[in-house]
Chains A and B, each alone.
Chain A
Amino acid sequence: MKISKSPWILHYDGSSCNGCDIEVLASTTPRYDLERFGIINTGDPKHADVFLITGGVNYQNRDVVQQLYSQMPDPKVVVAVGICACDGGVFKDCYNIIGGVDKVIPVDVYVPGCAARPESIIDGVVKALAILDKKRERMAQGLVPDEKVWTNTIVRPGSQEKQED
């Protein structure tokens, strides 16, 4: 059986305005019913396959995001929900914001929108599942799950230009 038949989601609220979080929670309500696809909203990173992040990353939650990501066993995918998680959105130029989620961990699917609608969130997760299966196939062949090598580019406080980390 394919791994995408049972994707469990870990939802983390970065520095979002909560708009996107409400939508994520909405998509787990009976009206949209994520469990149709076998999806369970779990609170445990060690059981999760899909990492759903809303909001951008700041200097305080950077470690938390990386910690959660590292606790998820391979194969795993990351979905950035909302324009804030994609590239910082309206908070992009704030002094404390590093930027989108892809500044600290590799992101597989970007779901735009402010706030992203439940339909597009579900759509994004379903897209991510195809990637999850691909990663599992690569693992079965003895390769690393990710196709591209991800490089971490973050802007350090005090410096103006981007640095390679």
Chain B
Amino acid sequence: MLYVLGFIFVILGPFLGGLLSGVDRVFSARMQRRQGPPLLQPFADYAKFMQKKAYIINGLQTFLITGHLIFVILAGWILYAGQDILLSIFSLTLSEMFLCMAAFSASAPYSNMSAQRELLQMACTEPMLLMIAIGFYLSSGSFMVTDIVAQKTPAIIHVPGFFLGFLVILVVELRKSPFDVSTSHHAHQEMVKGVTTDITGSLMGIVELSEWYEYFLMFSYVALYFVSSNPLSLLVGILMGCLVMFLMTLIDNTFPRVRWERMLSVCWATTLIFAGGNLLLLTLLKMF
């Protein structure tokens, strides 16, 4: 039964993710007092990339980009099929590694430089992503998603610190900030187009597709903090997911020029303070 839910994610994930990214772009435009693109613009972009000619640099690139897509789907499937959340996070990391390697495989300097910075970015987000799994374990006593959603009280009650830490890295994970690393949809990036600089045509379409999956996956991680055995909590989860996505757009528009040095210090500091503090507190509470 749960496996079916996983497959529903595989089918619906990109639509919802693409919609999220469309809403994000419209809100972003409104925050800048612009009218903004149509809501379905991300789908138009995708359709365009699929119709354009692809200049494929080497045979490896196709393989790596496909790997990127497959592992991000797997990460979502694992989550929705109620399996081990740790595995889901590892799969997500692997998929990002694939994208990074695709960028390294091109000989263009911008592509290589962005890949290096993408690695830095991963160094910032990975500790916290692992902490998320630990947080869920502390609150529910299990890494299985089926157990996490079966708790009496939602995870946010036990591990609010982990959630706050997650919010900070979410900005980086969704490629909103910092501007000199991320491959976002803004013009005038320092790194041209980040890791996707040398990816063209249908391959770029696949990257966009995996981005939507990732969007929806992140949305689901956020919602997971609010879901408990009470069915109504699902509604709260979805609501909070939307709210957090709005917050991400707001943060992106408020701090458009964060640099990667800043990202390093902020991400690690918040991981240490929020997640570490929460961990310490839980341990102390258990002792007494």
Contact = CB atoms under 8 A, between A and B. Distances in A.
Interface string A42-69: 1110110100000000000000000000
Number of contact residues on B: which range applies? 20 to 34
Interface string B187-211: 1110011001111110010000000
A6 B47 contact: yes
A70 B126 CA distance: 39
Nearest to A76: B52
Nearest to B57: A46
Contacts of B185: 40
A1 B44 contact: yes
Contacts of B152: none
A40 B52 CA distance: 16
A67 B169 CA distance: 38
A47 B193 contact: yes
B141 interface: no
Interface stretch (B10-18, B29-37, B142-150): B29-37
Interface in B31-54: 32-38, 41, 43-45, 47-48, 51-54
A42 B35 contact: no
A2 to B, nearest CB: 8
Interface in B210-253: none
A5 B43 CA distance: 10
Contacts of A40: 185, 187
Given A3-B52, A6-B48, A36-B37, A73 B189 contact: no
Given A6-B48, A44-B197, A38 B204 contact: no
A42 B32 CA distance: 18
Contacts of A1: 43-44, 47-48
Contacts of B33: 30
A75 interface: yes
Interface string A64-93: 000000010111000000000000000000
A28 B187 contact: yes
Given A35-B35, A46-B198, A46-B200, 9 more contacts: A1-B48, A2-B47, A7-B48, A30-B33, A42-B193, A47-B193, A47-B196, A49-B48, A73-B53
